[in-house]
Amino acid sequence: MGARHTVDKDRVIALAEGIVSERGAAALTIDAVAKAAGITKGGVQSSFGTKDALIAAMLDKWMSEDDRRFRDYLGDGPASPARKVAAHVKVTHQQDEATHSRAVSLLISLLQSTEHLESARRWYARRIDGLQDDNENDERALLAFLAAEGAFFLKFLKLIDIDQDRWDRIFTLIDKLLVHGEGDV
C-alpha cells in the first residue's frame, strides 16, 4: 500500500479561485480543480467533501483576508460605525487586481448557494452595523460605502473600464463623503 499524500488545501483553494477568475463560476468543478492541482478527484473530495464546501472555504479565505486588512486599517480600540466604513473604503480602494478578481469570482459563486449568500450578507451587515438613519455623518458614511461597493463591482465585473488613475480619483471623491475625525483611518 502506497504512502498517503496530504493535499495542500490553500493551494487547492488558490487554484479553484483561478479557475473561477479565468473561466467563470460555471467552470468550477471538482474535476477541474483536481486536474489543475494534479491530484485525483478523490483527493479534492477528501479535503473538502463537496463543491459547495470548496466554495465555502474559498469564501471564508477571502473574508478572512479582507477582515485582516480591515482591522489593520482600523487599528486598536473601539471605532464608530462611520470610522468602520472609512476603513472599508480604504481596503476596497487599495486591494490589488488579483484580490479584486478573486473577490468578484467568489461573490459570483455565491449565487449558487443561499448558505453562502447569507454568510456574505452577514459580512456586509457587520461593515455597516450601527449606522443611524437620522445622523448626517452616518448617512454620508453609508453613501460612501455604497459608492465604494458600486465602483468595485462595476470595475471588477468589467462593466466599466476604470484604469488606476480614474480608480484613485473615484476613491478621492468617495473619501470626501466621509466626515473624518476621532483617529482618522
The DSSP line for 94-107 is H--HHHHHHHHHHH
DSSP string for 40-87:
-HHHHHHHHSSHHHHHHHHHHHHHHHHHHHHHHHH-SS---HHHHHHH
The CB density around residue 176, as the number of other CB atoms within 10 Å, is: 11
Residue 147 lies in a domain: yes
Q: Look at the chain and report how many structural domains it folds into.
A: 1
Burial 57-90 (b: 16+ CB within 10 A, else e): bbbebbbeebeebbeebbeeeebbbbbbbbbbbb
Residue 101 domain flag: yes
What confidence tens digit (pLDDT) does each residue in 63-80 have? 888 889 899 988 887 888
CA distance 151 to 56: 25
User: Is the residue at 183 inside a domain?
Assistant: no
| 184 domain-assigned | no
- Name the band, by pLDDT with cuts 50, 70 and 90, for residue 183: very low
What was the pLDDT predicted at 79?
86
Q: Which domain holds residue 152?
A: 9-178
How far, in Å, CA of 61 to CA of 100, rounded?
13
CATH of the domain at 62: 1.10.357.10
Domain membership of residue 4 (yes or no) is no
2 belongs to a structural domain: no
Domain contains 165? yes
pTM (predicted TM-score): 0.79
Asked whether residue 157 is domain-assigned, the answer is: yes
